[in-house]
Amino acid sequence: MPRYRAPLRDIRFLIHQVFDFAGHYARHGHEEVTADLIDPVLEEAARFTENELDPTRTEGDETGTHLESGQVVTPPGYKKAWKAFVEGQWNGISCSPEYGGQGLPHSLGMAFHEMAESANMPWCPLFTLSQGAIRAIEAHASDELKQAYLPKMVAGEWTGTMALTEAHCGSDLGLLRTRAEPRDDGSYSVTGNKIFITWAGQDLTDNIIHLVLAKLPDAPAGPKGISLFLVPDRLLDDSGQPGERNNVAVEALEEKMGLKASPTTVFRLDGARGWLVGEPHRGLAAMFTMMNAARLDVSFEALGIGQLSHQGAVEYARERLQMRAPAGPREPDQAADPIIVHPDVRRMLLTQKSLVEGCRALGLYAATQLDIGLGSPDEQARGRANDLMALLTPICKGFFTERGSEITDLGIQVFGGHGYIREWGMEQLYRDVRITRIYEGTNGIQAIDLIKRKTLASERKLLDLFLEEVRGFCDANADAGEVSTELVARTRKVADEWSELTDRLMAAAGDDINAPMSAAFEYLEYSGYAALAWCWARMAVTAEQALKEDNADRAFLEGKLQTARFYFDRILPRTRALAESMVADTQSLMTMDDEQFFMP
Ligand SMILES: Cc1cc2nc3c(=O)[nH]c(=O)nc-3n(C[C@H](O)[C@H](O)[C@H](O)COP(=O)(O)OP(=O)(O)OC[C@H]3O[C@@H](n4cnc5c(N)ncnc54)[C@H](O)[C@@H]3O)c2cc1C
């Protein structure tokens, strides 16, 4: 069973040396968050996730959840972990102090978040969905709703859910059928059936606040007719405490591949009382406040699980003895060498390491843009950061989660047959991570978002902003050092190719919209690999510089440079195949008749 150890050294390297979070906080309105404050937060996060959360992961998978009289019974240890989480004030880490939060920057919250995902990913939507709901309520609800709900939600006394999906609609929410009728008292009566609602009905808190998408009687058809409602499990009494039950019921739990300890509920609203959040018919836009953050959260889910799979694989590969190293015995006193000596096992471990650490760098960089976009006093900086986030959200969501499957698959392979056996805990990670490619918008939908909304519709303005950042870095580090100079040059080359491919797809769209849409998934993958090249070049420059200055962390820094080289030599060339298939004629994809796909 992989036992989680927080990768504090790597997180600190990124936070202090590569990105200088303290400087970034000072520039954007968080001067109180100095390096002296950051380190204890990270250490406490590591303590909580390693000691309180990690021990609940395997048992949760074994026990799962079940329904008793409409209430979800959670696995042993979950109540204790939630209590410790709430007492540690982790739920409100990045929430506004106005409602009792700690008001720390989102990027620091994300570092905690990654650790929690590694320790127990199925448990995490309890707080990530709550934080998304808090953000949506804070941004769009009336003051009355904010005062009534946010303090308890921020404190972790109540949790939140996101209730969008219905049996006949997931990607296309414009089709939804849940209705909301106005009542005389200004509230609404909400009726409909939702499926796949995560963490509804749980037995950990005394209220659950659902953010529900529904249509008003005068709603226009399609996505422009959707409104957002706050629907509590229990209505609040005159003193603001949970009282009478609302007409909301969990009717069943889905049986599923992974996430056994995270209830996925079938959920019925039968004239439930709800309150409008934001403008009528503008619910999808309001929900996007929640979903954009949720998409970055899902990226960190995949990253966190990938980290744990990598740790498990490295430990195993150091101990498992099989055959001899090709160039002769490495441990002649042993019956065989540890498998970590074999080139193919090293390929798997370095693929995991380079992808996990590269994604961590890109994820934390994206989180700094979230800090600026949501909280900087500088309006221009906010606009720029929001534009960068708009581009990076589908890239992180799509790319990290695709890699999450790859990384956990490799984790199984390093264990050989034992990876397939439950007792080792590696197959759980593979099962659990699989959902990240599906929920919060499938990766097919992320790819369309990237090419259509973020690239074609903006006439590539968002990409140019990011490329400006990449090229600025390349200019400043053209002679950075023995190893990094070459990596910087290769980063410039891939940035130039990314730009050219974008032009080609944009030009092709003029004649045939199927051209960019057919290339959308490859384009998303390409963008991920290219963005990670920039991150790896940044890490290489920082590591090489640090090696010149002090030798205290020599082994770690040299390992960084080695991994950077591996990324450029062995992973980045995947862009060659993507570039070629991306600009291929659409005929081979689009001309086959639907019935020709399978002819028995
Ligand atoms: C474990 C789990 C937890 C979940 N939690 C929640 C939750 O808490 N709240 C909630 O509201 N929902 C939740 N969901 C629902 C999830 O977000 C949806 O399943 C997802 O958005 C996809 O919708 P769908 O299943 O209806 O698939 P569909 O929309 O039917 O898609 C089927 C396939 O068609 C593709 N596709 C559809 N349209 C297009 C297009 N225009 N172009 C290209 N490809 C397209 C999709 O990419 C996909 O591959 C959860 C689902 C699961 C399984």
Paired strand residues for 249:
268
Q: Does residue 49 line the site of ligand 1, with CB under 6 A?
A: no
Residues 234, 68: Cα–Cα separation, whole Å: 18
Q: Does residue 448 line the site of ligand 1, with CB under 6 A?
A: yes
Q: Does residue 495 line the site of ligand 1, with CB under 6 A?
A: no
Query: What is the predicted pLDDT for the residue at 289?
Result: 66
Q: Which atom of ligand 1 is closest in space to residue 168's alpha carbon?
A: 26
Show which residues are catalytic. Answer: 440
**The token pair that represents 343 in the structure block:** 């080139």
Q: Does residue 444 line the site of ligand 1, with CB under 6 A?
A: yes
Q: Does residue 92 line the site of ligand 1, with CB under 6 A?
A: no
Q: Does residue 198 line the site of ligand 1, with CB under 6 A?
A: yes
Ligand 1 midpoint to CA 82 (Å):
28
Q: Which atom of ligand 1 is closest in space to residue 442's alpha carbon?
A: 47
Residues 97, 502: Cα–Cα separation, whole Å: 43
Q: Does residue 17 line the site of ligand 1, with CB under 6 A?
A: no
In our burial notation (b when 16+ CB lie closer than 10 A, e otherwise), range 512-530 reads eeebbbbbbbbbbbbbbbb
- Cβ atoms of 317 and 340 within 8 Å: the answer is yes
- Cβ atoms of 54 and 307 within 8 Å: the answer is no
Query: What is the predicted pLDDT for the residue at 549?
Result: 85
Q: Which atom of ligand 1 is closest in space to residue 213's alpha carbon?
A: 11
The protein residue whose alpha carbon is closest to atom 32 in ligand 1 is 171
Ligand 1 midpoint to CA 120 (Å):
23
Question: Beta strand pairing status for 188-198 and 264-277?
Answer: antiparallel
Pocket test for ligand 1, best of 126, 165, 194 (most atoms within 8 A of CB): 165
Ligand 1 midpoint to CA 435 (Å):
10
Q: Does residue 133 line the site of ligand 1, with CB under 6 A?
A: no
Ligand 1 midpoint to CA 326 (Å):
47
Residues 519, 350: Cα–Cα separation, whole Å: 29
Q: Does residue 60 line the site of ligand 1, with CB under 6 A?
A: no
The protein residue whose alpha carbon is closest to atom 25 in ligand 1 is 170
Ligand 1 midpoint to CA 175 (Å):
13
The protein residue whose alpha carbon is closest to atom 7 in ligand 1 is 197
Query: What is the predicted pLDDT for the residue at 112?
Result: 97
Ligand 1 midpoint to CA 441 (Å):
6
What is the secondary structure of 16-70 as a DSSP string? IIIS-HHHHHHHTT-TT--HHHHHHHHHHHHHHIIIIIGGGHHHHHHH--EEETT
Q: Does residue 265 line the site of ligand 1, with CB under 6 A?
A: no
**The token pair that represents 490 in the structure block:** 């290769």
Ligand 1 midpoint to CA 36 (Å):
43
Q: Does residue 291 line the site of ligand 1, with CB under 6 A?
A: no
Query: What is the predicted pLDDT for the residue at 290?
Result: 66
Pocket test for ligand 1, best of 438, 440, 451, 590 (most atoms within 8 A of CB): 438
The protein residue whose alpha carbon is closest to atom 27 in ligand 1 is 170
Q: Does residue 103 line the site of ligand 1, with CB under 6 A?
A: no
Query: What is the predicted pLDDT for the residue at 293?
Result: 75
Q: Does residue 259 line the site of ligand 1, with CB under 6 A?
A: yes
Q: Which residue has the tokens 């979950």?
A: 78
Q: Which atom of ligand 1 is closest in space to residue 441's alpha carbon?
A: 21
Give me the tens of pLDDT residue by residue for the chain, a chain 600 residues long: 899 999 999 999 999 999 999 999 999 989 999 999 999 999 999 999 999 999 999 999 999 999 999 999 999 999 999 999 999 999 999 999 999 999 999 999 999 999 999 999 999 999 999 999 999 999 999 999 999 999 999 999 999 999 999 999 999 999 999 999 999 999 999 999 999 999 999 999 999 999 999 999 999 999 899 999 999 999 999 999 999 999 999 999 999 999 999 999 999 999 999 999 999 999 988 887 667 778 999 999 999 999 999 999 999 999 999 999 999 999 999 999 999 999 999 999 999 999 999 999 999 999 999 999 988 889 999 999 999 999 999 999 999 999 999 999 999 999 999 999 999 999 999 999 999 999 999 999 999 999 999 999 999 999 999 999 999 999 999 999 999 999 999 999 999 999 999 999 999 998 899 999 999 999 999 999 999 999 999 999 999 999 998 677 999 999 999 999 999 999 999 999 999 999 999 999 999 999 999 999
Q: Does residue 207 line the site of ligand 1, with CB under 6 A?
A: no
Residues 18, 328: Cα–Cα separation, whole Å: 39
Q: Is the dihedral of CA 55, 56, 57, 63 positive or negative?
A: positive
Query: What is the predicted pLDDT for the residue at 511?
Result: 87
The protein residue whose alpha carbon is closest to atom 47 in ligand 1 is 444
**Residue 26 CB partners (closer than 8 Å, separation 6+):** none
Query: What is the predicted pLDDT for the residue at 385?
Result: 95
CA dihedral 394, 395, 398, 403 (to 10 degrees): -160
Ligand 1 midpoint to CA 398 (Å):
14
Ligand 1 midpoint to CA 242 (Å):
32
Ligand 1 midpoint to CA 342 (Å):
40
Which one-letter amino acid corresponds to residue 132?
A: G
